[in-house]
Amino acid sequence: MELSTNTNKLVSEDERQHPTETIQYIVIRLGDEQYGIDIRNIETITRMQHITRVPKMPPYLKGVINLRGVVIPVMSIRLRMNLAADEITKTTRIIVLKLAEEGNVGFLVDEVKEVVSLNSDDIEKIADNNKEGRTNLINAVGKHNGELISLFDLNAISLEG
Amino acid sequence: MDVSQYLEIFLDETKEHLQNLNTRILELETDPENSDTINEIFRAAHSLKGMAGTMGYKRMQNLTHDMENVFSEVRNGTIKVMPEMIDVLFQCLDALEEYTDNIQSSADEGTNENEQLIKKLNDILKGESGDGAGSGAEPKKTEETGQASRPSGETGENKWDQIPLDSTQISVLREAMKQGKKVYGINVMVQESCILKAARAFLVFKAVEELAEIIVSDPSAQDVEDEKFDRDFTLIVLSDSDLDSIVHAAENVSEIEKATGAPLVLENNKSVAAEDKAEAEEKAEESEKPAAAPVAPAKADAPKPVATAPAAASAAAPPAAAKAADHKKQAPAKPVVNRTVRVDIEKLDALMNLVSELIIAKNSLVSSANAGQEQQTSGATHNSFNEQIEYLESVTTNLHESVMKVRMVPIESVVNKFPRMIRDLSKKLDKKMELYMTGEETELDRTVVDEIGDPLMHLLRNAADHGLESAELRAQRGKPAVGSIFLDAYQDGNNVVIEVRDDGNGIDVEAVRNKAIERGTITPEQAVNMTDKEIINLLFLPSFSTAKQVTDVSGRGVGLDVVKSKIESLSGEVEVKSKLGEGSTWTIRLPLTLAIIQALMVVVGDEKYAISLGSIQTLEDIPASDIKLVQNKEVIHLRGNVIPLIRLNQVLDVESKRSEEDNLIVVIVKKGDKMAGFVIDELIGQQEIVIKTLGKYIKQCKFISGATILGDGEIALILDANALI
């Protein structure tokens, strides 16, 4: 409890120092690339578990899992973005997002790496580039310690789901 | 006073009373002499009036008041029950229902005064026909108020002139008069027999406050609330309305003998005369000591409102009013009325018992855990531990069941309104008909019961309107003149079946067929091949129901698609059987409860699926050689039925684990008259499962109706057999 209040204070102090907005992102890995998801949209992150297949679904909808008594659909971001199919390893995680309209949805990711804070200065919006289907889901790129992090546009994910 | 906390109870009880009235008045119509019924009606109307009054719903109160008057006369035998009167009464009930609906949605009764109805009621009282123009029978009340207010003006010595006023109050009054507001003095006399004077007085305060601002009351408001007054109290009010309406409002409260009032002349007031002396800066109400006002003799004999007399005896005690708090603060709170379930005490007791058992089980577990720590090696503790877990298991299962039962309510609450509806339809359509209901006590999940009303109403209307023939046609066909409509409800396994049946014309299949071809719904070639049943099922298509012409030809099709979709949204199904000239039967099948079902767990490939037990007929072990091909489809011949086979592994896109030569495990399912055999790999067994939705993402899959979580935390999908057949 104390810890969290401390961090809250830190965040607010941070904000006072920087007039620009700071958003925390969870950094995940898909293959060799890093992606960021706005932490405010994340319900929970769970280890890989058995996914119950649902027949007659598009391939990227892997099925459903039981998250503490609630049935949650899980999809593969890799398949959504036309990447190679997921390889389940020890580091594979299911990130459960809470979406306003659709309720909770899980996403398979190769690894969850860290949490980073990005200033809006560090974020560059990218124009819609439909050449490859994959860029549809990405609407910005963040710079962090000299690395680039592609940021997911959660609206796009939820809309097409 | 804030009565919003009682709103829920009020609404509940009002609805109950209204329903009761509906039923009783229907009874009265067939048996006008039954004194029990009349008494019951009188009581219900009286309670309604009392409740409405307590809650401050004046219009509602007025209407019930006049209804009560009529019933009271009927009870005394001065008025005979006549068909016109019944009609008027039903209209009154409709009006009351409208008030109730308004209150439910906005905590306000609305502004409809229903003067017409009140007038009709008064006409009945005067022995005139309810529908008569009766221009001479102006509402009594205006006369009353006219008389009530007149005499007071005549006497110079009025009670309100004796109220001590302090200087602030006097200046307020003077200021208001300057602004053109009217200042009245009002004296209210409570009936001698009145038991809850404070409550009645509170209602008067409330009524007056709607029209005027109360500046002074004598005795003080606090004293009035505490019942520290004799039989009358006096008010000085500021208002824009005219005196008559205020006096009328006060007098309309039951058990008020009379109210008198007159414009206040400040100079007549004793305190004003002595204003120079009285300059104390005390706060308004505290300073007011009732100046031992001599009980002024009634100035004129204003006629009592007719109904207050019989009402007095059984005063509907408004407990709320008695503790009237700060009545000057009007609380316009708009509470959202929650949906409630009334629960049978027995069910609650069962729940309570289970919870206590649960606690015992928990305690035993705790103690065996403690014992385990002390003597870890002992195998005995392990055994008792298992025992306790088994015990716990059985308790939780029962607990679950009981909680589910609490959600169950009899469909009575829905079907009760139908006799009245049929009666109205009978008048409107000018057809004689009778509704026979059975199984009203059948219980269903509350959510289902709430939703089932409209579809049923639709079907009943259809039966009454289009199903039953005209009197002439019935006579020709040798049917009894009075058409019969049946509504039967009963439980059938895990389902509840509701049947709407009529002995009318039935569905003209040929007409539907022709119409369908004409409308292009089906081709003539298709039409030839379609069975009558399939044709009738066309009626449920949305395109069909919107077509008015179809209604003209076949007499069916109004909103049947709505009925169907509603029932399907409740995981139920509807089917119709009809015989031309003999009538039709609409059968609605609903799951007992939506949240939990009995299911058969099966394995297909390496996946587990649940099939609702409700749709399963039998399980069969069929040798592969028994499979026959009909039109290139696999069927089996089973006890005289040819049943098409559906290989679930193909439907579900999984590899079957069984080889071609193995015997087949076939689950025979039934949907209405249709049967099908699901070929599965393995049976697990019967299990009670809790239905979970799959969420919005996964809705494309028609034959998966949901998911359930198994004991090991794994998810199994629920197959919707109906969608597969």
B75-92 tens-digit pLDDT: 777 777 787 888 888 888
Catalytic residue among B22, B40, B46, B73: B46
Euclidean distance between CA atoms B685 and B64, whole angstroms: 59
Q: Is the pLDDT assigned to residue B366 strictly greater than 80?
A: no
pLDDT of residue B619: 92
Q: Which of A114-118, B411-415, B549-553 has the highest mean pLDDT?
A: A114-118
Same domain? For B86 and B205 the reply is no
Residue A161 touches chain B, beta carbons under 8 Å: yes
pLDDT of residue B679: 92
| Fold observed for domain A2-160 | OB fold (Dihydrolipoamide Acetyltransferase, E2P) (2.40.50)
pLDDT of residue B133: 38
Q: List the single best residue of A51, A53, A60, A71 to mutate versus B (max B Cβ within 10 A).
A: A71
Give chain B's domain count: 5
E strand intervals along B285-389:
none
Q: What is the mean pLDDT of residues B622-633?
A: 88
pLDDT band at B488 (very low <50, low <70, confident <90, very high): very high
> Worst-scoring range by mean pLDDT, B13-17, B251-255, B418-422, B622-626?
B251-255
Q: Which of B371-375, B396-400, B534-538, B681-685 has the highest mean pLDDT?
A: B681-685
pLDDT of residue B555: 40
Euclidean distance between CA atoms B630 and B634, whole angstroms: 6
Q: Is residue B339 part of a domain?
A: no
Amino acid in position B79: I
Centre a 10 Å sphere on the Cβ of residue B486 and count the other Cβ atoms it contains: 17
Q: What is the mean pLDDT of residues B703-723?
A: 84
pLDDT band at B155 (very low <50, low <70, confident <90, very high): very low
Are A64 and B607 inside 8 Å of each other by CB?
no
Q: For B196-218, what is each residue's pLDDT tens digit?
A: 777 777 777 777 777 777 777 77
Nearest to B242 by CA among B211, B203, B205: B211
pLDDT of residue B380: 59
Give the domain-ending residue among B390, B406, B422: B406
Q: For residue A118, what are the β-bridge partners?
A: A23
Q: What is the mean pLDDT of residues B555-563?
A: 63
Chain B neighbors of A72, CB-CB under 8 A: 695
Which residue of B lies nearest to A52 if distances are taken between CA atoms?
A: B715
Intra-chain end-to-end CA distance of chain A, in Å: 37
Q: Is residue B393 part of a domain?
A: yes
DSSP assignment of B382-423, as one string?
HHHHHHHHHHHHHHHHHHHHHHHHHTEEETHHHHTTHHHHHH
Contact B149, B247 (CB under 8 A): yes
Q: CA of B652 to nearest chain A CA: how many angstroms apart?
A: 5
pLDDT of residue B88: 84
Q: Is B46 a catalytic residue?
A: yes
pLDDT of residue A95: 92
Are B697 and A104 inside 8 Å of each other by CB?
no
Q: For B324-334, what is each residue's pLDDT tens digit?
A: 333 433 333 33
Secondary structure (3-state) at B112: coil
Q: Which residue has the higher pLDDT, A101 or A143?
A: A143
pLDDT of residue B34: 80
Looking up residue B459, the CATH number of its domain turns out to be: 3.30.565.10
Same domain? For B111 and B161 the reply is no
Q: For B265-277, what is each residue's pLDDT tens digit?
A: 776 666 665 554 4
Dmax of chain A from CA atoms? 53
Q: CA of B710 to nearest chain A CA: how many angstroms apart?
A: 10
> Which residues span the domain enclosing B365?
345-406
Q: Is the pLDDT assigned to residue B606 strictly greater than 50?
A: yes
Q: Is the pLDDT assigned to residue B317 strictly greater than 70?
A: no
In a 10 Å sphere around its CB, with 0-12 CB exposed, 13-18 middle and 19+ buried, how is residue B173 labelled?
Answer: buried
Q: What is the mean pLDDT of residues B189-202?
A: 73
Euclidean distance between CA atoms B351 and B692, whole angstroms: 24
Q: Is residue B568 part of a domain?
A: yes
DSSP assignment of B249-262, as one string?
HHHTSTTEEEEEEE
Q: Is residue B334 part of a domain?
A: no
Are A55 and B651 inside 8 Å of each other by CB?
yes
Q: Is B462 a catalytic residue?
A: yes
Same domain? For B415 and B488 the reply is yes
Q: Is the pLDDT assigned to residue B648 strictly greater than 70?
A: yes
Among all chains, which residue has been given the structure tokens 């509807």? B574
Q: Is the pLDDT assigned to residue B677 strictly greater than 80?
A: yes
**Which of B607, B694, B716 is closest, CB to CB, to A73?**
B694
Nearest to B348 by CA among B395, B407, B261, B416: B407
Return the half-sphere exposure (C-beta side, CA atoms, 13 A cut-off) of residue A149. 27
DSSP assignment of B150-212, as one string?
HHHHH-S--GGGGS---HHHHHHHHHHHHTT-EEEEEEEEE-TT-S-HHHHHHHHHHHHHHHE
Same domain? For B298 and B373 the reply is no
Q: List the single best residue of A50, A53, A61, A65 to mutate versus B (max B Cβ within 10 A).
A: A53
Q: Which residues fall within 8 angstroms of residue B274, CB to CB, at 6 or more apart?
A: none
Q: List the single best residue of B697, B705, B712 to mutate versus A (max A Cβ within 10 A).
A: B697
Q: For residue B682, what are the β-bridge partners?
A: B603
> Worst-scoring range by mean pLDDT, A45-49, B39-43, B274-278?
B274-278
Q: Is residue B649 part of a domain?
A: yes
Contact B648, B604 (CB under 8 A): yes
Same domain? For B55 and B113 the reply is yes
Residue A53 touches chain B, beta carbons under 8 Å: yes
Q: Which residues fall within 8 angstroms of residue B428, CB to CB, at 6 or more apart?
A: none
Q: Which residue has the higher pLDDT, B126 or B416?
A: B416
Same domain? For B157 and B302 the reply is yes
Same domain? For B451 and B401 the reply is no
Q: What is the mean pLDDT of residues B701-721?
A: 83
Q: Is residue B328 part of a domain?
A: no
Are B693 and A71 inside 8 Å of each other by CB?
yes
Q: Is residue B396 part of a domain?
A: yes
- The per-residue pLDDT of chain A, averaged, comes to 77
Q: Is the pLDDT assigned to residue B123 strictly greater than 90?
A: no
- The per-residue pLDDT of chain B, averaged, comes to 74
Question: How are strands ordered across the β-sheet holding B256-263?
Answer: B212-218, B232-239, B182-190, B256-263
Q: Which of B64-68, B211-215, B542-546 has the highest mean pLDDT?
A: B64-68
Q: Which residue has the higher pLDDT, A74 or B530?
A: A74
> Worst-scoring range by mean pLDDT, B457-471, B554-568, B601-615?
B554-568
DSSP state of B464: I
Catalytic residue among B102, B187, B462, B495: B462
Q: Is residue B79 part of a domain?
A: yes
Same domain? For B91 and B50 the reply is yes
Euclidean distance between CA atoms B701 and A159, whole angstroms: 18
pLDDT of residue B135: 38
pLDDT band at B549 (very low <50, low <70, confident <90, very high): very low
Contact B177, B239 (CB under 8 A): no
Residue boundaries of the structural domains of chain A: 2-160
Same domain? For B156 and B296 the reply is yes
Same domain? For B483 and B533 the reply is yes
pLDDT band at B154 (very low <50, low <70, confident <90, very high): very low
Looking up residue B221, the CATH number of its domain turns out to be: 3.30.70.1110
Q: Which residue has the higher pLDDT, B157 or B278?
A: B157
**Which of B698, B713, B714 is closest, CB to CB, to A54?**
B698
C-beta pairs of B469-473 under 8 Å, 24+ apart in sequence: B469/B504, B469/B505, B470/B431, B471/B431, B471/B432, B473/B505
Same domain? For B442 and B524 the reply is yes
Q: Is the pLDDT assigned to residue B678 strictly greater than 90?
A: yes
Euclidean distance between CA atoms B705 and B591, whole angstroms: 13
Are B713 and A71 inside 8 Å of each other by CB?
no
Q: For B418-475, what is each residue's pLDDT tens digit?
A: 888 888 888 888 888 888 999 888 888 877 887 888 888 888 888 888 788 888 888 8
Q: Is the pLDDT assigned to residue B129 strictly greater than 70?
A: no
Are A105 and B694 inside 8 Å of each other by CB?
no
pTM for this model (two decimals): 0.46
pLDDT of residue B279: 44
Catalytic residue among B40, B68, B288, B573: B68
What b/e string do you get for B599-619 counting C-beta neighbours within 10 Å, with b at 16 or more? Answer: bbbbbbbebbbbbbbbbbeee
Q: What is the mean pLDDT of residues A145-158?
A: 78
Q: Is the pLDDT assigned to residue A98 strictly greater than 80?
A: yes
Which residue of B lies nearest to A157 if distances are taken between CA atoms?
A: B697
Q: What is the mean pLDDT of residues B116-145?
A: 55
